[in-house]
Amino acid sequence: MKVVKPALPSPDKRWKIVDAKMRRFGYQGHALIETLHAVQQSFGYLDEEALRFVVKALHVPPSRVYGVATFYNFFTLKPQGVHTCVVCLGTACYVKGAERVLAAIERAAGIKSGETTPDNQLSLLTVRCIGACAIAPAVVYDGNVSGKQTAEQAVEKLKGYLHNAA
């Protein structure tokens, strides 16, 4: 069967990365999750334009694409803030007081887990377990893991973020 390749949504170079990923899988439907990873890595989130492009390129029903995109925690349909702060809520972190750390961050940033500050500087997220249990509680600031966090340390770190952004 000849593969009909849809045109890239825009000249934005990032679409080429997404397209390359799909090509590696021969534009087959089972590349869906890998493709969504590539979109999110390139654009930060999955918007409607991207989802529609993936639907066409992989010949997967739109409802299945949406179903997959919303099944997995890792995918987000909303743009994220400039900085991200991910609090691990695994068991070891929980036993060592991660909930207190999260509560302090929520108070300081004025947002709840899963939200982004109105100035779009910080997104606060939680995660099931990042496997940094020996140095619990762990918080991931902009992709970098910090272990043995206290509420005070976390809030201090965040101040830096919000201050720098202002």
- Contact between 62 and another protein (CB under 8 A)? yes
Measured distance CA(63)–CA(50) in Å, rounded: 14
Q: Pick from 111, 102, 36, 105: which is nearest to 81 by CA? A: 111
From 39, 65, 85, 154, residue interacting with another protein (rule: CB under 8 A): 65
Residue list 2-31, contact with another protein (CB under 8 A): 29-31
- Contact between 44 and another protein (CB under 8 A)? no
- Contact between 131 and another protein (CB under 8 A)? yes
Check if the beta carbon of residue 66 is closer than 8 Å to that of residue 37.
no
Question: Judged by CB, which is closer to another protein: 23, or 96?
Answer: 96
Measured distance CA(96)–CA(42) in Å, rounded: 35
**What is the number of alpha carbons within 13 Å of residue 14 lying toward its C-beta?**
12
Binding site for another protein (CB under 8 A): 29-34, 36-37, 48, 51-52, 55, 60-68, 70-75, 89-96, 127-136, 138, 144-147
